[in-house]
Amino acid sequence: MAKRNLTYTNPEPCSHLAEYKQNHSSRGYNSLQPSLKTNPNGRTTIKTSQSQIPRCGSCSADEGRLYFCLICSAIHCPDHAILHSQVGHAIAVDVDRAEIFCCVCNDQVYDPDFDNAVMHKQMKLKKNPQNGMLETPNKKRRRKVAILERETEATEGVSCFPWGLRGLNNLGSTCFMNSVLQAMLHTPPLRNYFLNDRHNREICQRRRRIGRRRGPPEMSCLACDVDAVFLAAFSGDRTPYSPARFLHSWWQHAANLASYEQQDAHEFFISMLDRIHEKEQSTLQPKVVGGDCHCVAHRVFSGVLRSDVTCTVCGFTSTTYDPCVDISLDLDPRNIASTLTGCLDLFTRPEKLGPDQKLHCEHCGLRQDSLKQMSIMRLPSVLCFHVKRFEHSSARRTSKKVDQYLQFPFSLDMTPYLSSSVIRNRFGNRIFAFEGDDVCKAPSEFEVFAVVTHTGKLESGHYVTYVRLRKSGTSVTMRG
């Protein structure tokens, strides 16, 4: 597959990290290997020997971010890490996420050698001197890892990483953007669309130049800049890429969010799809049939929700249909750890509406108490769930983050949550034709391939993306 040749530039690496590597080579990374701890879901942290709970060596703080000095192994909170850097100990590692942090630049920095050390710890591979194969305790896993290595060797030379893995530089609290971009880069229909040149930048720019001659200048095309990010990520270059042009373009389209402050990843996701939709729709207008949009954003993510509001007096039901690009789910407050299927059960469970939401019943001619039930009329090609992590109290005028655990399977059957299933369950075991059966004949089983998570508090924190590249379970952490 051939793509256009483009030139990309990356910022200079951190001078303090370069100085550290010059003075200590890779000894610091090697000595850190025994302290790296990987839990079953693939997250790597720093296991310290000072105490069971890591604390700042200066103020004993044990909350928030803590940094492990790569020179003297001291642990400090952010404020004392900056003071500690004045003695020449600038490079540290985030204890909770195993990420390199420069205490002088006060920012996360990237080093491929450190990433290799973390990846080596995560994979837990040993070299077998007899046959040269990579070994793990599980023989089946060993065979898959060996095949993976051969595939990447054949396509990418000496690189040990699957195709398309490339870090994104933080441009000033832009982890919210980088985490969503990493997930979208590995969304198969989007990847196929942009890498197959379905949005050609040269043609789009030519049309824009003609349009500028005939009228006022347009804003930059966000879809063109998304295409540039895909080209950069799949170019084979392993050095971190700076999506600065894309960020500037998004700022033009979302002026109310244009700042270097941390933003909400979900809000960014919706904003980006809206901007892509606006651009693609203008060129696909003749192809819009029956109200369905054929832009790439909606072809990939768009589904239809069904809402049934039923009068509790006479049983009259008012039904509405709403398009959606994601499904917002509430965590179950009754459980310490919610499950994704439990959240979906909660989403499709009948809910009694409050007195200010009474239904005007056409049959009764009055406003009556009612029950509302949600279901999914049509599933999208790629199903996106938005888990509500921020709780707002209008009475107390306060907001807080919900730190409840969520368990989710790698494979998910959405059949119980389709309108056809929900409506039949509402009427018991009666067998009858449902008007949406033809819509629901599409496959309803999904494989989880990307998860965007947030650590920290409401006013501050960090977004990280986990991408599952193969059904064998290979997962990679994309650090924003």
Q: Just list the catalytic residues.
A: 175, 462
Instruction: Give the CA distances from residue 318 to residues 298, 370, 377, 416, in Å, rounded to whole numbers and listed in that order.
Output: 26, 10, 15, 22
Among candidate residues 183, 449, 188, the one with its CA nearest the CA of residue 299: 188
User: Any idea which residue has 């790629």 for tokens?
Assistant: 382
Among candidate residues 64, 60, 59, 71, the one with its CA nearest the CA of residue 29: 71
On the CB side of 406, how many CA atoms lie within 13 Å of its CA? Answer: 22
Question: β-strands 317-324, 303-311: how paired?
Answer: antiparallel
- The amino acid that residue 246 corresponds to is F
Gyration radius from the chain CA atoms: 26
**Bridge partner residues of 463 (DSSP):** 454
- The amino acid that residue 340 corresponds to is L
Here the tokens at position 328 are: 């917002």
CA distance 445 to 473: 17
Helix (H) or strand (E) holding 119: helix 112-123
- The amino acid that residue 376 corresponds to is I
- The amino acid that residue 100 corresponds to is I
SS3 call for 196: coil
Among candidate residues 291, 432, 443, 436, the one with its CA nearest the CA of residue 375: 436
What is the CB neighbour count within 10 angstroms for residue 400? 13
Interior CA angle at 435 toward 434 and 438, to 5°?
95
CA distance 37 to 48: 10
What length does the chain have?
480
Would you call 203 exposed, middle or buried from its count of C-beta atoms within 10 A (0-12, 13-18, 19+)?
Answer: exposed
CA distance 73 to 48: 9
Here the tokens at position 224 are: 């063109």
